[in-house]
Chain A
């Protein structure tokens, strides 16, 4: 007989958890007590539970392992909510343990009680309160199994205090058997053959690789598939890196800020062979005009992702890697040189490139990263910084792009980068953020310092919530409502100074360099492209602490190309 908390620690060990993202509190104190002094697991205490779960998310995305969180009840649990939804959208395996008031107090509006299972039902893969001590081992085992199999996702396990302290069996099961959860296994040969037959007939075929290809670790297989068939390939932002960006047949991302070539290829292809994508509205544009001439084939591990937004002709429920590897047994080179030439012409004629900017362009910063770091892991925040990064960053080798693609969570970048660095201590890890998003989890500079994490934090500071500002400029008559971060009470209403010149604007706060210094971290502010190298060289000398590189960029810089919302992909605006 052991206490629930001892079984909890045993379970984490059995699951091979080497890093636990945790924050103490009244209903987690017993669990923390059981973790006291153990040395086979690193226990990371971030400075806010939202950052905690994003760090676990960044750890999971960058290592392929399951991220594990432990927080207390009430606000500790509810602070996880945004991170759970973020992971759920992007199919990230997480197991989140939340402390809970004792069973007898549940529903009594006890101190720090929230119904976290109820709150998270619609934003996680599974959520459960352990109500019997004898179920504890089985439920933890199931949680890990559910989180990492099929389409991965977050699982919430709520642990009332008396379950934690209850005496019971010390058995942690080896296997699970759940009648309600059977992730797809194997590939339906008949459907795959049907798809390949359709592909063979195609004159203008196109591969679309989504995040599922990266999650399944099918990158090499995907590249082989493209190499053998000679079919052009496009990606979603979550699929970026599914084939090397330098591949001659790679046309770029599709969708709202995708490349001309990728969007036009979708428009004109006759077979769209898509793998591991949800056909989210950001990639389809106006649904009725999406791939109008194409037969659509769709491989996805999640049946519910198939024919949800786009009706597909041939659905195949399968893991991306299994399916692609099976395809490799059958595919042959295709005679489609005219089509390939056409796509190459688009690619060459309309590359993604930023207009001349005042000062420095974000493109130059990101290209510097591409050219000067070996397989870096880059985490983005959300907004223009994210869009530019997903346009220009070229993941290579074991490098990865970590971005909140589905939920679009500001504040994701820095903590995700910390999690990635913890999971990949040998890799260069860079967070690219805007001046808005970085302030949503800036307190994590402390976490980076105390655990000695060298993370380079690039802040693209344009003084605005730039992506919304861009929409206001293009579609809302330059009515910059709520998007200027230099705004102070003393400013005149309806200010449009950004159009007239910024000399009279109030000073930007905070001073990110001084802020970094207050954490004993480092900071450097640059204004010109010539200084990019100097800044990164400066950051690279601090091997066990973070550095902020604040890039002052043009407040008017916008992200192009762009497909206006509600329009078809053919209505792409180039600049």
Chain B
């Protein structure tokens, strides 16, 4: 059975403790959880989570069932195999920069379409909105170029189903 990356879009009741119920279920059952983001939807009583995880088929089926039987879960949508748009926000702060370093940051930003959103005498703040995999690559690149000088924070992926081609 193939172990691979899966994506779930989860609609849940927007109540206190819901995040604990969902993340707690993953922990209690020893399911691998790579990323989980959550936010209120257009309906304030509903939150939507985007969950990324790595598992085999049988475990993934079980995860979907376990989510479904949770009373706070309104809907489980498996978006692993459907066209989706998926992005993650990543900030990379590069510290102790010389002028040469700064130019290098700008060059990288230009090459990979990243935004420079803040700037000081010695530091540059880069904003990167890409897929999780691309962001991994960016972190690796900055890590290699500016050893021990970067600070990273990332927001986890959000995903939404793509619009149908037939509707265009």
| Docked-complex contact A304 and B66, CB < 8 angstroms | yes
Q: Contacting chain A: which of B14-22, B89-97, B133-141, B158-166?
A: B14-22
| Docked-complex contact B74 and A179, CB < 8 angstroms | yes
Is A117 engaged at the interface, CB distance under 8 Å to the other chain?
A: yes
B47 to chain A, nearest CB (A): 12
Cα-based distance from A179 to B76 in the complex (angstroms):
12
Cα-based distance from A17 to B76 in the complex (angstroms):
35
**B61 touches which of A118, A129, A307 (Cβ 8 Å):** A307
Instruction: Report if A304-B65 is in contact (Cβ < 8 Å); known contacts: A125-B71, A180-B73, A311-B58.
Output: yes
| Docked-complex contact B74 and A121, CB < 8 angstroms | no
Instruction: Report if A180-B74 is in contact (Cβ < 8 Å); known contacts: A118-B20, A122-B24.
Output: yes
Cα-based distance from A271 to B13 in the complex (angstroms):
42
| Docked-complex contact B16 and A131, CB < 8 angstroms | yes
| Docked-complex contact B65 and A126, CB < 8 angstroms | no
Is A308 engaged at the interface, CB distance under 8 Å to the other chain?
A: yes
Of chain A, the residue at the smallest CB distance from B59 is A308
Is A303 engaged at the interface, CB distance under 8 Å to the other chain?
A: yes
Cα-based distance from A126 to B25 in the complex (angstroms):
12
| Docked-complex contact A121 and B71, CB < 8 angstroms | no
The residues of B that contact A302 with a CB separation of less than 8 Å are 69
Is B117 engaged at the interface, CB distance under 8 Å to the other chain?
A: no
Of chain B, the residue at the smallest CB distance from A118 is B20
**A180 touches which of B24, B28, B72 (Cβ 8 Å):** B72
User: How many of chain A's residues touch chain B, expressed as a range?
Assistant: 20 to 34
Is B70 engaged at the interface, CB distance under 8 Å to the other chain?
A: yes
The winner among B58, B65, B68 for most chain A CB atoms within 10 A is B65
Tell me the dominant secondary structure on chain A's binding face: loop
**B71 touches which of A117, A122, A129, A178 (Cβ 8 Å):** A178
**B20 touches which of A121, A131, A308 (Cβ 8 Å):** A121
B73 to chain A, nearest CB (A): 5
The residues of B that contact A125 with a CB separation of less than 8 Å are 71
Contact string against B for A residues 460-501, beta-carbon threshold 8 Å, 1 for contact and 0 otherwise: 000000000000000000000000000000000000000000
Contact string against B for A residues 74-85, beta-carbon threshold 8 Å, 1 for contact and 0 otherwise: 000000000000
Contact string against A for B residues 72-95, beta-carbon threshold 8 Å, 1 for contact and 0 otherwise: 111000000000000000000000
Instruction: Report if A181-B71 is in contact (Cβ < 8 Å); known contacts: A121-B21, A131-B16.
Output: yes
Contact string against B for A residues 103-134, beta-carbon threshold 8 Å, 1 for contact and 0 otherwise: 00000000000000110011001100101000
Is A146 engaged at the interface, CB distance under 8 Å to the other chain?
A: yes
The residues of B that contact A311 with a CB separation of less than 8 Å are 58
Tell me the dominant secondary structure on chain B's binding face: helix
Is B122 engaged at the interface, CB distance under 8 Å to the other chain?
A: no
| Docked-complex contact B66 and A122, CB < 8 angstroms | no
The winner among A304, A306, A307, A311 for most chain B CB atoms within 10 A is A304
B27 to chain A, nearest CB (A): 8
Cα-based distance from A314 to B13 in the complex (angstroms):
33
| Docked-complex contact A126 and B69, CB < 8 angstroms | no
A360 to chain B, nearest CB (A): 44
The residues of B that contact A129 with a CB separation of less than 8 Å are 16-17
Is B62 engaged at the interface, CB distance under 8 Å to the other chain?
A: yes
The residues of A that contact B12 with a CB separation of less than 8 Å are 180
Of chain B, the residue at the smallest CB distance from A142 is B71
Of chain B, the residue at the smallest CB distance from A303 is B65
Cα-based distance from A311 to B58 in the complex (angstroms):
9
Cα-based distance from A179 to B70 in the complex (angstroms):
11
The residues of B that contact A179 with a CB separation of less than 8 Å are 74
| Docked-complex contact A180 and B61, CB < 8 angstroms | no
Cα-based distance from A181 to B62 in the complex (angstroms):
18
Cα-based distance from A71 to B73 in the complex (angstroms):
28
| Docked-complex contact B69 and A118, CB < 8 angstroms | no
Of chain A, the residue at the smallest CB distance from B72 is A180
Cα-based distance from A122 to B22 in the complex (angstroms):
10
Of chain A, the residue at the smallest CB distance from B61 is A307
Which residues of B (20-59) have their CB < 8 Å from a CB of A? 20-21, 24-25, 28, 58
B82 to chain A, nearest CB (A): 22
**B58 touches which of A121, A122, A181, A307 (Cβ 8 Å):** A307
Cα-based distance from A198 to B147 in the complex (angstroms):
64
The residues of B that contact A181 with a CB separation of less than 8 Å are 71
A-B residue pairs in contact (CB < 8 Å), sample of 18: A117-B17, A118-B20, A118-B24, A121-B24, A122-B24, A122-B25, A122-B28, A125-B71, A129-B16, A129-B17, A131-B16, A178-B71, A180-B73, A302-B69, A303-B68, A303-B69, A304-B68, A308-B62
Q: List 14 additional A-B contacts (Cβ < 8 Å) besides A122-B28, A304-B69.
A: A118-B20, A118-B24, A146-B71, A180-B13, A180-B70, A180-B71, A180-B72, A180-B74, A302-B69, A303-B68, A304-B66, A307-B58, A307-B61, A307-B62
4 closest Cβ contacts across the A-B interface?
A304-B65, A122-B28, A126-B71, A181-B71
